[in-house]
Structure 1
Amino acid sequence: MKSICGDLLLQRLGPEGLGAFGKPLNRGLYECIRGAILDGSLPRATRLPPQRDLAAELGLSRNTVMYAYEQLLAEGYLRARTGSGTFVADTAPESYLNATAAAITDAGPRAMPGLSPRGQQLLANASASPTQWGAFMPGVPDLRRFPHRRYAQISARLWRQPPPEWLSYGHGGGLPALREAVAAHLRVARSVRCDAEQVLITEGIHQAIDLVVRLLGSTGDQAWVEEPSYWGIRGVLQVSDIGMVPMPVDDEGLTLPEADAGRLSGRTEPAPRFIFVTPSHQYPLGAVMSLKRRRALLEFARQHGSWIVEDDYDSEFRFSGQPIPSLQGMEADAPVIYIGTFSKTLYPGLRMGYLVLPRELAGAFQTAHAELYRAGHLMTQATVAEFMQAGDYAAHIRRMRPLYARRRAVLAALIERYLGPGALNAQGSNAGLHLVLRLPDDADDVAITAAARAKGIMVRPLSRYYLGTPAQRGLLLGYACVPEEDIGPAFDVLLGCLGECGHAAHVARIG
């Protein structure tokens, strides 16, 4: 059996072998191994094959290999342990001399093709945070309260004798058992009109949106997005060459222009191919779309041939009043594609979401999903399916609702006490996993965010959620992942950051 080291050396030697070095074989082998050590291809502590084995792999005499090893040992590139073998030394000799290791080739650095304009634009507007845990990180549930033991028991039992098909590529939109469990949950909890055949399991919201845009959109199509809206949606639309039109949000949700004779009154652009909305809890401001606005939106989409993409991202966590039913379930055969995720109810690292599709699109989406993404993770899907079927999923949500409600109340009380009632965003409903702290119009919420993060407080600037000129400055404060006893101390640190930036005394003047 060939060793990794042997394969590496054979690749470097090429078809001409050691003869390409124009030197004696033993010297050529020495330089080949030395070069691999210096450029990191053979990392420190790597165990080299025994001399006899490497000689057989390379088609050389043992004496040739022995010379190379002994020379490298003498120069400190290798070390030998009796009974264990020969290893790459922890530090190459050049490190002691503070000299730069010689390059394998004398050629200078080559110019590499640069990013495309689309790639450059995506990176210029990137908003993903390198830190995803801590006070007050928005959108993150309390991962310490997840029923790890119960979930692990299900997973361990399934792994004892997994069906071979669960370990291969997935097809058909996800494991049937999970699709049935998701459909059953959505019918009861969200009044979604669906069965298992309409459900497609994805790796989160981003993949779901990407699939929708790829299959139903064309380059140059327009999409209406809420203003402000989730920045992740905008990134997916941007790389798909879908134009974005920001539509203002008021107390009733996304606003609609007047329609006149099938045309958009007062607007020159064509009707949108997509309308992205978060009707049950607008993200990030928190408004609930009114029944009148929902009916108008459905009628508008039917008249203009638009697809409504309903993101129901944290609808399970409503702390007062009646649950808000889905937009998709209001009318039969509504032009709505419903998307959801387990990131808020289970944990974000699960990377599992779902689409609910009109029946006539389901088959095409299943095929395209398998073709584009080579779906898998069926063992994880099987675990989540049993977790849901056994009632653990619903029980976990029931346990977390009062916990999050208490944490929300604690944080809201602190904001009102120290910054005044006007500091809380007026549109925010009693739901979700974050609050919006309003700031004066002249505040630099991006700078305040940076100052807070330097002190370990994770907030997000509201201005980054606007596609156009920000209409409002503020901070998104997530409370779900912060224990109640830690909310006060963390808020004190945030107050200090507001004071340092000169805004703590002025926040109470808002409203």
Structure 2
Amino acid sequence: MRAVLLTDLLLKNLDKQSSIPMQKQMYDTIRFAVLDHTLISGQKLPSSRALAADLEVSRITVSLAYDRLIAENYLVTRAGNGTYVAPTLKQPLSAAPGNVHTQHSMQLSRRGSQLTSLPGGMGNTTGAFVPGVADSQAFPFHIWKRLVARYLSKGNLALSGYADHGGLRQLREAIAGYLKISRSVNCDPGQIIITTGTHQAVDLCARLLADAGDTAIVENPCHWAFPTVFSASGLNVAGGEVNEQGLDLANSDVPPRTKIVVVSPSHQYPTGVVMPLSRRLELLQSARAQNLWVLEDDYDSEFRYDGAPLPSLQGLDTDGRVIYIGTFSKAMFAGIRMGFLVVPNHLSEAFAKASTKLFRPGALHLQAALADFIHEGHFAQHIRRMRTEYSSRQDLLRSSLEKSLGDMVSLSSARAGLHVFAECSSLVNYQSMINESKREGIFLGTPCFVKNIPSLENRCFVLGFGAVPLERIEAGVHSLSTAMSRSLY
């Protein structure tokens, strides 16, 4: 390409009316021309004086653009002989062979491909009947805003950095005090590790308690997060038997190299089963006999409507093998992304160090605000208020379902949590019902099965009522009834 043609290239691409500086436009145009081999290696360019005259711009503008391109090795100067295009790749980056190579050779890893194919959560956070979502409309954001603002100032610059030692001490103290009273958890603040939610908590446990190729047992069916996170960490996932008393570890297959078992004893997800004391003691005994770590997922234990919340499994543990997982997403609002682990004393230092090294936790001003939210009684007050509200919603949902659907569905019996588990009768085409429900604006949760259960799979679904105001429940059930009536065999 003759030097004079650079002027034509620039005149075609430069826009003197643009808000982008002329120097930046020149730099971008020449840079792309070099990478694309429109300007070839060794090509001599016009002098800054000549180019400025041709473009009718300041010579300083051209010189600054040239200087930057020279500094970044797109152009070179030869003393007394002008400016040239620097040596570049033989093939331009946009050439076809490079594109083919990139598209067909640069692929996800096996682990990445597996992760993208595993079950994932629903994208919706509002509407009937999205499961697992609290009512953010009822949350006292005016209080939360005041508490957060308390720590957003230059007087609290210490909170603008990273957390260490497992999280902010004030929050760990607040959580420890709350858990001792409400959940009978035996812990001190040093055992608590603040996380960004259950997913990060499980990931941390997988990394520290098991090696790639080891096995984790999850309840079957279970929440989709557990097999997804464990698989992403290189663990094999096996399904434990769940019956009317919850996980039956004693009668489940435990593969060799099993290191972890996950259980939700206070309100099994999704079936809603509440594990009685006898089964809890039996589970701990089986875990001791097989030397397993037990992860207790206590995701919505605050919401029990026919009695006081049941004591935690961790409070019964005498071996230091139960790790308690808690979250504020159900009790407060989903997007808070704040949770915690309670680990045995002998693991606390390792978990704190690993959390800091892997995740570099921050958001200390939010942790400080949450500590005040608990200490000042706002958290307990919100729980009491929402317990009454959610109880009314569940009662109305159950009565509406029984009235509208009758024998087409059977419901779980537990009066707890933020969802109801339902099983279709054999008269209903399951997949058609799911599709028709979406057309009606109804979103149903589908349980995750690690291994087939013919009596349940393609028959059951989850109805969340946390994000559904009381006055909209009957209309939602009516829409679901319409969808099911279209799905009968």
Q: TM-score range by the shorter chain?
A: 0.7 to 0.9
**2-side partners of 1:353 and 1:23: how far apart?**
65
Q: Deviations over 1:156-202 (max 9, x none)?
A: 22213352221112211111111111111111110000011000000
Q: Please give the residue correspondences for 1:6-21 in structure 2 after superposition, counting only pairs within 5 Å.
A: none
Q: 2:303 aligns with which of 287, 309, 317?
A: 317
Q: Is 1:380–2:373 an aligned residue pair? A: no
Instruction: Tell me how far 1:459 sits from its aligned partner.
Output: 1.1
- The amino acid of 1:282's aligned partner reads Q
SS in 1 for 2:240: strand
Q: 1:407 aligns with which of 372, 384, 393?
A: 393
- 8 Å CA contact 1:415, 1:424 repeated in 2: no
**Is there any run of 5+ residues in structure 1 with no aligned partner, and where?**
1-19, 35-44, 71-102, 259-263, 504-511
**2-side partners of 1:479 and 1:183: how far apart?**
29
**How large is the Cα RMSD of the aligned pairs?**
2.9
Q: Is 1:117–2:99 an aligned residue pair? A: no
**1-side partners of 2:270 and 2:465: how far apart?**
14
SS in 1 for 2:268: coil
SS in 1 for 2:206: helix
- The amino acid of 2:381's aligned partner reads A
Aligned to 1:182: 175
**Is there any run of 5+ residues in structure 2 with no aligned partner, and where?**
31-46, 59-91
Q: 2:55 aligns with which of 60, 67, 73?
A: 67
Q: Is 1:150–2:143 an aligned residue pair? A: yes
Instruction: Tell me how far 1:436 sits from its aligned partner.
Output: 1.4
Q: Is 1:482–2:465 an aligned residue pair? A: no
- 8 Å CA contact 1:203, 1:351 repeated in 2: yes
SS in 1 for 2:258: coil
Instruction: Tell me how far 1:377 sits from its aligned partner.
Output: 1.1
Q: Is 1:244–2:237 an aligned residue pair? A: yes
Aligned to 2:73: none
Instruction: Tell me how far 1:62 sits from its aligned partner.
Output: 11
Q: Tell me the matched-pair count.
A: 432
- 8 Å CA contact 1:26, 1:65 repeated in 2: no
- The amino acid of 1:432's aligned partner reads G
**2-side partners of 1:217 and 1:486: how far apart?**
45
Q: Is 1:397–2:383 an aligned residue pair? A: yes
Q: Is 1:331–2:317 an aligned residue pair? A: yes
Aligned to 1:459: 444
**2-side partners of 1:409 and 1:471: how far apart?**
27
Aligned to 1:471: 455
**1-side partners of 2:56 and 2:438: how far apart?**
53
Aligned to 2:86: none
Q: Deviations over 1:16-75 (max 9, x none)?
A: xxxx995555444446668xxxxxxxxxx97212x48988999956973993899xxxxx
**2-side partners of 1:66 and 1:131: how far apart?**
58
**1-side partners of 2:48 and 2:319: how far apart?**
73
Aligned to 2:186: 193
Q: Is 1:439–2:424 an aligned residue pair? A: yes
SS in 2 for 1:48: coil
Deviates more, 1:293-302 or 1:415-424: 415-424
- 8 Å CA contact 2:126, 2:468 repeated in 1: no
Aligned to 1:371: 357
SS in 2 for 1:134: coil
Pair 69,486 (structure 1): closer, same or farther in 2 beyond 3 Å: farther
**1-side partners of 2:266 and 2:418: how far apart?**
13
Aligned to 2:63: none
- 8 Å CA contact 2:405, 2:481 repeated in 1: no
TM-score normalized with structure 2 length: 0.81
Counting aligned pairs with the same residue, the percent is: 36
Aligned to 2:486: 500
Aligned to 1:169: 162
